[in-house]
Amino acid sequence: MSVVIRLTQMGKKGERKFRVVVKEKRSRRDGKPVESLGWYEKRTDKVIKNIDRERFEYWLQKGAKPTATVTKLLTV
């Protein structure tokens, strides 16, 4: 089972919100996740995010690979 850490879209058009989730690589973007690690919301005035770093590190140790977007999100 190849596992990745990626974003899933939520919210309505023009007001997108994202969840940071652990998923199987071959599953759909909005399919059922293995685990939800937090959320991310980009507004025009500021960025709001809440990500469980402890669980993120756990999944990295298990071999999960974050997408480029998630990696960039965590470094900002």
pTM confidence score: 0.83
**pLDDT tens, the chain, 76 aa long:** 689 999 988 888 878 889 999 999 888 777 788 999 999 888 767 778 888 999 999 999 999 999 999 999 888 6
List the beta strands (DSSP E) in the chain.
Answer: 3-10, 17-24, 35-42, 47-51, 65-66
Q: Which domains does the chain have, with CATH numbers?
A: 3-70 (3.30.1320.10)
pLDDT of residue 3: 92
Distances (CA, A) of 31 to 8, 39, 45: 9, 16, 30
* H-helix or E-strand spanning residue 71: helix 68-75
Look at residue 43 in the predicted model and tell me its pLDDT.
73
Q: What is the pLDDT of residue 42?
A: 80
What is the pLDDT, as a whole number, of residue 30?
73
H helical segments located in 28-67: 53-61
- Distance of alpha carbon 52 from alpha carbon 69, whole angstroms: 17
